[in-house]
A and B are shown apart, each in its own frame.
Chain A
Amino acid sequence: MGYLDNSSVTVDAVLTKKGRELLAKGQLNITKFAFGDDEIDYNLWDPNHELGSNYYGQAIENLPMLEAFSNDPQSLKYKLITLPKNTQILPVVTLAESSVILTTPGMSSVLSPQTSNISNGNQQLGYTFTIANADIVELAAQQLPSNTAIINTSHTPDGNQSSHTIRALKASVIARSITTTQTTTLTITANETGGSITVPITVNADTVLTSGQSAQ
């Protein structure tokens, strides 16, 4: 009779850049979790493994994992989701725009992600919009999901190039006044069905800035 394996799965977490920022402000309050599988390539799943079904996932399970990184907008890009057991078609999140270019300060573009293959997908909890550098782009909710508990915060540019997150069904990105043309990314994550889209947002330099005028 062998010994039972009593090792439990215990992992150490690291704060993201956003987490450190919130901790410094005394506003770190973790309330929920999600699972991710960013590094997993399901092409490595081998249903033809000659040793049988217990070994289909061998190539994936032997994969050594990288350490966590703290760039919050790009972490957990792919999330595990809950769907009925016999689901054969996964919800797909799409966005009409593949990129956004904002040429003048104050110029905006409304982004309206859609979820297909499921009725009323994400209507209850909406989408999470995360702009990686909120110093150059302002995020504003255009249509809130039906869950009335959702409250969004605003972000004041502080020169730290920190991210800003809101939840909405539709959101607009609004160019701030900046001195040099910059590009950042907007990540849209579906709060119910999972799935995310990342689009580059380019903000052109404000050409009418005068000497001595400050810009973020």
Chain B
Amino acid sequence: MTAFTNFDLEDIVEGNIAKNVTSTIFSGGAGSLGVNGVHTSSTQTSSAAAEYYWDIYDKNPSDAAAEVQYQIAYGHYAGSGSILPTGLTEGLTPTRAVYSQFRNLLIENPTPTTKFTMGDSANTTCDRMMFISFNRARFKEQIDVGNWSLTLSGSTEFYSHSITLIDDSSQTTGTTENGHKVYNIISGSGTTPSVNGDTSAYEYWGKIYPELGILALNGDRVAGNISNTGASAASQRSQNLYLLNGADSSGTSDHINEKMHWAIKSGSYFSGRADENVSSTHFFVRAKNSKYNFTTNETFKTGSAGQLRHASMNGDPQVYISTVGLYNDANELCAVAKLSKPLLKNFEREATIRVKLDY
């Protein structure tokens, strides 16, 4: 007689079954963030940290349910485009620190002179980089490549247009860089890449590191300083976002983080999915007909002596299972499963319940 029953070996199907479980990458099950789903905090954007990155929320930060979805950080190889904090040696600006930080993280064998490179004949090395880093809780194990899309909208005195970015996972199996899986970010729609009108080649806008939750965008394209001599106006336009709209500043901020935020907000569409492997263990919990037909529930008995409350249950007890508890050897309750409705149990009924536990 015991309130606990040991599992037989065959009752536990161990959790070595890993499967790709995907979910939306944004809070609250939102499949995408539109123009109303992108917010900043004035407290954060006016802080010293804003020189490095901007936090982007899904709701107005005054809403208690608002959560940071991702961060935007602009990096410049030589440190242009940001103010120089008082006393700091010239060149060691926040934009240079950001560039170095991501270079150390993403590039194999980085040196101080190493630049990010793109599979792009028009711009193989990038002085500028724009990083979008998803909050760790959002992308879980990795971004689901092939299932994200970001529309950026830029405007200058010359051009006003938008570009939609995807990855090239539908075309390649990706590469590995510094131990991280990498795909190219290209322009396109859905899983279909678009090509340049002049060269019929892909337009490489950056790289995605799905396991790190990072979109590393070619800042030269985002800022709009790539100049292809002889390219048509349409081609030129499709290759650049023109956020910088001029030369890099020295010692003053170019406000690229803010401009990038507005490019995303104006684009009005940022979708993505998180991907994780979930190990599940299934426990087959069996209550044979002769087992578990009484309960210690206080309402099952009457008085302090322990008599059954209902005389009709003498010799024919009727109890209900509402909860299954999973214990270890020390009788410590490790997991709890609830049934959606009470399950009747008596000497004429057996119950087999499959309990699924995800790790």
Contact = CB atoms under 8 A, between A and B. Distances in A.
Interface of A: 8-16, 18-19, 22-23, 28-43, 45, 47, 56-57, 60-70, 72-73, 75-76, 78-83, 85-93, 116-117, 125, 128, 130, 151-153, 163, 165-167, 189-196
B234 to A, nearest CB: 53
Contact of B335 (A14, A83, A92, A190): A14
A113 to B, nearest CB: 13
A75 B332 contact: no
B294 to A, nearest CB: 5
Contacts, number: 289
Contact of A29 (B1, B315, B328, B342): B328
Contacts of A70: 336
Nearest to A67: B338
A42 B310 contact: yes
Given A33-B5, A75-B325, A81-B296, A153 B330 contact: yes
Contacts of B320: 37, 40, 57, 60-61
Nearest to B280: A12
B298 interface: yes
B335 A16 contact: yes
Contacts of B295: 37, 40, 42, 78-81, 194
Given A15-B357, A19-B334, A60-B342, A30 B319 contact: no
B356 A12 contact: yes
B305 interface: yes
Contact of A92 (B6, B12, B305, B352): B305
B307 interface: yes
Contacts of A165: 330-332
A152 B1 contact: no
B315 to A, nearest CB: 5
A103 to B, nearest CB: 29
B2 interface: yes
Interface in B332-348: 332-345, 347
